[in-house]
Chain A
Amino acid sequence: AQSVTQLGSHVSVSEGALVLLRCNYSSSVPPYLFWYVQYPNQGLQLLLKYTSAATLVKGINGFEAEFKKSETSFHLTKPSAHMSDAAEYFCAVKGSTLGRLYFGRGTQLTVWP
């Protein structure tokens, strides 16, 4: 079975500081992993996805994530936070059912001026 665990339900950073959102996965098969962002009262927007082509994945808005098989991790980073990054972030792993994603509980990112 597949699952993800997001460490830290809330993360606060100052504008310009490094953003690090943690995600660990469990998968019985080589995983496909995703990070989505959700702004208030909106649906989910894809930030990036890991498809085994490269361990360092670059996404939109300056975000990137590194797949580490030995640590079963797929942490999301951004070198310099912007006020507009404040949102909820979800890590997800693709399930064996073709159209199924398993999501973590989410991490709320707050960016202070």
Chain B
Amino acid sequence: DAGVTQSPTHLIKTRGQQVTLRCSPISGHKSVSWYQQVLGQGPQFIFQYYEKEERGRGNFPDRFSARQFPNYSSELNVNALLLGDSALYLCASIPRTSGGPDTQYFGPGTRLTVL
């Protein structure tokens, strides 16, 4: 079975531009979470989506938005890019939404560099 896929793998943008990152979860998984990992730090939660609805949001500005499609794939959009948005963006695929300890399966990430 295919794992979590993310595209593109690398991206270079300039300040003020907009970027869209894509994620396809593991087949059968209906929920995805997005994380930002700045160099030298642990991942920080941005969003969770389940059945096309936002189920959680981290402490990120409104420049960050996301959506989930009927096939459960997801896009993360970042507008008005800042230098500080340079990071590895990770997508996690989650089997279900429940109170249990569901494992989150991470994709390889998209490395965004803002110049």
Contacts and interface: CB of A to CB of B under 8 A. Distances in A.
Interface residues of B, number: 32
A8 B97 CA distance: 33
- In the complex, which range does the number of interface residues on chain A fall in? 20 to 34
B48 A32 contact: no
Interface in B75-98: 90, 92, 94, 97-98
Interface of B: 4, 31-33, 35, 40-45, 48, 50, 55-56, 58, 90, 92, 94, 97-101, 103-109, 111
30 contacts: A32-B101, A36-B106, A42-B108, A43-B4, A43-B90, A43-B108, A44-B90, A45-B106, A46-B103, A46-B104, A49-B101, A50-B101, A51-B101, A90-B42, A92-B42, A98-B48, A98-B56, A99-B31, A99-B32, A99-B48, A99-B55, A99-B104, A100-B45, A101-B33, A101-B92, A103-B43, A105-B40, A106-B40, A106-B41, A106-B42
Interface of A: 32, 34, 36, 41-46, 49-51, 90, 92, 94-95, 97-106
